[in-house]
Amino acid sequence: MKNRFDYIDALRGWAIIGVIVTHVSSIISYKGLLSPLTSIGGLGVQLFFLVSAFTIFYTLGRSQGKEKFVIRNFFIKRLMRIAPIYWLGIVVYTLVFGLESRGWLPGPEVWHYPLHFSFTNLLHPETPSSVVPGGWSISCEVIFYLICPLLFLLVKNQKQAFIFVLLSILSGILFLYLTSTYFLDSLSTEFGQKLSQQFFYRNIVSQLGCFSFGILLYYTLIDGKYDSLLSKKRYSLVLLLLGVICFGLIKFVSFGYHYIAALSFFLMALSICKVRNPIIVNGPVIFLGKISYSAYISHFLVIYGLKSIFGFEEFYTLTIFTFILVIPVSYLSHIIIEKNFTKLGRAIIENREKSTAPVIA
């Protein structure tokens, strides 16, 4: 996106903070004072999903009338954005761990690799994060990309986006209920209960409701009718407070809590989209947001390295040193790999736009 939104990068920054803290806590089995917070930091993934849907719809909206091949160009941009870092992650994690476990899950088998290279690793209970830790969310993102152009054609305004939020959440709840009632036991017999539960929870049908809030955010902002309200500090604070209250309710919900998290993130995003809250939107967090994808892929390796090589087992020490190492590693990856492949994607699109006759995208 040419004109970046600071608050969107800030949301990404908070998302990666939550994810890293949760994984540090999980790897060392932290049970201290902050464990109620660290246990839900992983919902930063759902914040990534919301932000991703927003930015995709924003990009597709800007491309209308400016590009001949909007859909084709969309997939080129997404491929150049996602694939190079993820494929590098496959190589690096394999060089470091081989076919051994990356942590709390069994190690991959050779047949897992084609699924990870094709981003279809979410489609089997054993493979979501077997090669690249956390790879399930990247696979879920890519599957969302495949249906996103169709959603962009079908969901055209705020009212339709609101209806889509309701439908996607209801279908997600129905999907989780039916799978847990009729399929979980049989699947657990072969793959174990934990992997089977994760398989259904991480499915795109389950997670689509989280993406849908990003679509609603997009249409709420481009509609413009709420700009005057969102620009007032008192309304901004009310929305932020409502978002925090919603997030606090997660601890009391055992089913569909990721939708409550997505609603919370939606309210928080509205609270900062017009009024800059320096506690949430600030330079360091914005910077973390810009390098968040590289940080997401690399942070597992950093945590494992600090724990196994240096013997860091204390939560606060391990967390601090993880960020100290992840930030420069991710920045270099962002500058050297992400930016260059993004430029390459733009160059490919520009060349194709100039050299081919227009067709219906």
Quick check: 356 pLDDT over 70? no
- For residue 358, what are the contacts with CB-CB under 8 A and spacing of at least 6? 68, 69
| pLDDT of 360 strictly over 60 | no
Closest among 136, 133, 137 to 300, alpha carbons compared: 133
Under the banding of pLDDT at 50, 70 and 90, the label for residue 2 is very low
Q: What is the pLDDT of residue 74?
A: 94
Query: 3-class DSSP state for residue 218?
Result: helix
Confidence of residue 41 (pLDDT cuts 50, 70, 90): very high
CA separation, residue 57 to residues 88, 122, 200 (Å): 27, 23, 26
pLDDT at residue 361 in the model? 45
Burial of 343 (0-12, 13-18, 19+ CB in 10 A): exposed
Q: What is the pLDDT of residue 3?
A: 41
- Dump pLDDT digits (tens) for 234-268: 999 999 999 999 999 998 888 899 999 999 999 99
* Nearby residues of 54 by Cβ (< 8 Å), 6 or more positions away: 8, 214, 215, 217, 218, 269
pLDDT in tens, 123-161: 999 999 999 999 999 999 999 999 999 999 999 999 999
This prediction has a pTM of 0.95
CA 211, CA 214: separation in Å to the nearest integer?
Answer: 5
Name the residue with tokens 């209920």.
177
Taking residues 320-344, what's their average pLDDT?
97
Looking at per-residue pLDDT, the higher value among 208 and 4 belongs to: 208
Predicted local distance difference test score (pLDDT) of residue 116: 98
Instruction: For residue range 84-124, list pLDDT tens digits in order.
Output: 999 999 999 999 999 999 887 889 999 999 999 999 999 99
**Residue range 313-329: mean pLDDT, rounded:** 97
Residue 326 to residue 319: CA distance in whole angstroms = 10
DSSP classification of residue 121: G
pLDDT of residue 103: 83
> What's the whole-number mean pLDDT along residues 14-39?
93
Look at residue 4 in the predicted model and tell me its pLDDT.
56
Rg (CA), the chain: 20
Q: Which residue has the higher pLDDT, 2 or 228?
A: 228
Return the minimum-mean-pLDDT range out of 54-58, 130-134, 227-231, 293-297: 227-231
Split at pLDDT 50, 70, 90, the class of 37 is confident
The first and second tokens of residue 349, run together, are 């699109």
When pLDDT is cut at 50, 70 and 90, the band that residue 359 belongs to is: very low
pLDDT in tens, 46-84: 999 999 999 999 999 998 877 788 899 999 999 999 999
